[in-house]
A = this chain, B = another copy of it.
């Protein structure tokens, strides 16, 4: 179940180096490569732009001398990382204030394709919504005995590390940087937030490894960040007390050394007092004390600390109904608002529990107006099918980013957040992400960091055009239609056949893949559904429950707190209701469970059928084969979910299915 090679059964036939090009095959740069291009400016990222242009022209035989079709130029008065694109007099012009902006502008032109070279259009300014657009890798340097090389990784080994050492060949890491840059990502943390013994040494003894990675990622405008152990100073000092001057001096010295080696180092990522990781609580200090100690060391260099808000009691007694894990992040962090230094970024998981297929948006995001907050998303599909199931997450992320915590008149999460972070789903698998269609999640994440208002269907269209070049195939409409049919609604399909109505978990403990309805019910993890013969769900209301609903501003506090008003899809997250409770659509909870589970499994079958109907040749046979294999597994697994969930609730409730379908 673990080990770096599990998802790498060999390279991709017919593809250079056996590695699939993801959304940057040569065809993706065809419109650029066919043109006469001029690049104006200097600097390392401008050099990267020139190299990209040269590569594209080599691939596509762009016209030789003559007046340019495309001009890419550094120019004053452009937003950081941004660019302005226009077309006039037969010339398309990209103007950027810095090399990164020019690179993003080039990839923007690639996405536009021939449309960039058609009718004239006036200058359009593009700028990223967030200064920091980050991917975090839960990669271990050593193979961890339980978690393997990549914690919660479903795409082979790490792109950076192999078996205790930095990879000798980092060409995949370089290609990965190019993919990330093409969607606007500009920061990568290169090791697991769970910092084990070997990984703790990256900050000190093995800093050279980080230097090498920074060198590989830098040409694509990506800064390296490092996950560090809060306890790191204790090895030398016997303490990591953040208020001890020796400790702050230790961090200052260690950080100075990092910046000496890597002047554009991004900063630290810290998981403290969380699931066994050390933290400030051990010294009776607050998380503000803890985060500020590291931030103070980083501030002189322009670095930031990403401090995770994922703090809860993972040794809860399941008998204790008073403790609610969902409350924990708010209870710990909201009182600290305003106490963090300006270069602390509080990194908050999008939901209050842990990346379930359906959770409300974390109330912490709206509770920290005096704190910089980054929203953490999980591209790696830990709880959403582990890259064996198609589960296109763009629509879920768009919902999260569009959620308005203060009600329709207030700002949305996208406007409140200071940054977006995703846990990467990429590894050394030949398709990068295990499931070839999971590439689209990494793509969508990048694009949303640039513009969180993008329509996920449009983003998927971009990805399809770049990846599959449908217009070069025999049947573009069929190819596009099939991909949309398989992917667009796949998140909701996955939701339908797994844990119902927002109640979450019901997965096998440990690996988190298949169903196990009571798997976490009597454990210390704080993830319960409380199903009994009469009803199911967690009462998190203020009136009668744990009070979690009261952590939201009034508009949502009221809605979530009321079983009548609570959105159906979150009903069991917020309320314990009888099986006969009638949902807004008129069905009972128990009938809804049966209906959605039959429907979800059937949709998985339809996805497989739809894919099988793709004529040979429309898609690279290696991709087609890998997707087909995984759809087989998805169908099998979806049936298993359907049958276990339905049987469990039928046995418990005794209510027969209104349509008389087979429940075991």
A523 nearest CB neighbor, chain B only: B516
Knowing A515-B522, A516-B518, A518-B518, say if A533 contacts B647 (CB, 8 Å). Answer: no
A319-B533 in contact (CB<8A): no
Q: Tell me whether chain A's interface is mostly helix, strand or loop, or mixed.
A: loop
Partner of A652, one of B319, B522, B532, B644: B532
A650 to B319, CA, bound (A): 14
Q: Return A546 CB to nearest CB of chain B, in Å.
A: 16
Q: Return A335 CB to nearest CB of chain B, in Å.
A: 31
Partner of A522, one of B516, B532, B653, B654: B516
A85 to B198, CA, bound (A): 66
Q: Return A653 CB to nearest CB of chain B, in Å.
A: 7
Q: Is A664 an interface residue, CB under 8 A from the partner?
A: yes
Q: Is A584 an interface residue, CB under 8 A from the partner?
A: no
A533 to B652, CA, bound (A): 5
A534 to B654, CA, bound (A): 8
Q: Is A651 an interface residue, CB under 8 A from the partner?
A: yes
Q: Is A531 an interface residue, CB under 8 A from the partner?
A: yes
Partner of A647, one of B516, B522, B653: B522
Partner of A651, one of B515, B532, B644: B532
A318 to B647, CA, bound (A): 11
Q: Return A431 CB to nearest CB of chain B, in Å.
A: 27
Q: Return A229 CB to nearest CB of chain B, in Å.
A: 24
A534 to B652, CA, bound (A): 9
A319 nearest CB neighbor, chain B only: B664
Q: Return A639 CB to nearest CB of chain B, in Å.
A: 10
B contact residues around A515 at 8 Å (CB): 522
B522-A644 in contact (CB<8A): yes
Q: Is A517 an interface residue, CB under 8 A from the partner?
A: yes
B contact residues around A519 at 8 Å (CB): 516
Q: Is A643 an interface residue, CB under 8 A from the partner?
A: yes
A41 to B34, CA, bound (A): 103
A616 to B519, CA, bound (A): 44
A320 nearest CB neighbor, chain B only: B664
B contact residues around A522 at 8 Å (CB): 515-517, 643-644, 647-648
Partner of A643, one of B319, B531, B653: B319
B533-A654 in contact (CB<8A): yes
- A499-537 Cβ-contact flags toward B at 8 Å (1 or 0): 000000000000000011111001000000001111000
Within A207-262, the residues touching B (CB, 8 Å) are: none
A318, A517, A533, A652 pick with most chain B CB within 10 angstroms: A533
B533-A653 in contact (CB<8A): yes
Within A317-331, the residues touching B (CB, 8 Å) are: 318-319
B651-A533 in contact (CB<8A): yes
A664 to B515, CA, bound (A): 24
A616 to B538, CA, bound (A): 50
Within A640-660, the residues touching B (CB, 8 Å) are: 643-644, 647-648, 650-654
B contact residues around A516 at 8 Å (CB): 518-519, 522
Q: Return A635 CB to nearest CB of chain B, in Å.
A: 15
A654-B532 in contact (CB<8A): yes
B contact residues around A654 at 8 Å (CB): 532-534
A517 to B648, CA, bound (A): 13
A319, A522, A650, A651 pick with most chain B CB within 10 angstroms: A522
- A619-650 Cβ-contact flags toward B at 8 Å (1 or 0): 00000000000000000000000011001101
A518 to B533, CA, bound (A): 15
Q: Return A513 CB to nearest CB of chain B, in Å.
A: 14
Q: Return A520 CB to nearest CB of chain B, in Å.
A: 10
A448 to B531, CA, bound (A): 47
A439 to B654, CA, bound (A): 48
9 closest pairs, A vs B, by CB?
Answer: A532-B651, A319-B664, A533-B533, A518-B518, A522-B644, A533-B654, A533-B652, A319-B643, A652-B652
A contact set with B: CB distance below 8 Å = 318-319, 515-519, 522, 531-534, 643-644, 647-648, 650-654, 664
> Can you name 16 A-B residue pairings with CB atoms under 8 Å?
A319-B647, A319-B664, A515-B522, A516-B522, A517-B522, A518-B518, A522-B643, A522-B644, A532-B651, A532-B652, A533-B533, A533-B652, A533-B653, A533-B654, A651-B652, A652-B652
List 18 extra interface pairs beyond A522-B644, A533-B654, CB under 8 A.
Answer: A318-B664, A319-B643, A319-B647, A515-B522, A516-B522, A517-B522, A518-B518, A522-B643, A522-B648, A531-B651, A532-B650, A532-B651, A532-B652, A532-B654, A533-B533, A534-B654, A651-B652, A652-B652
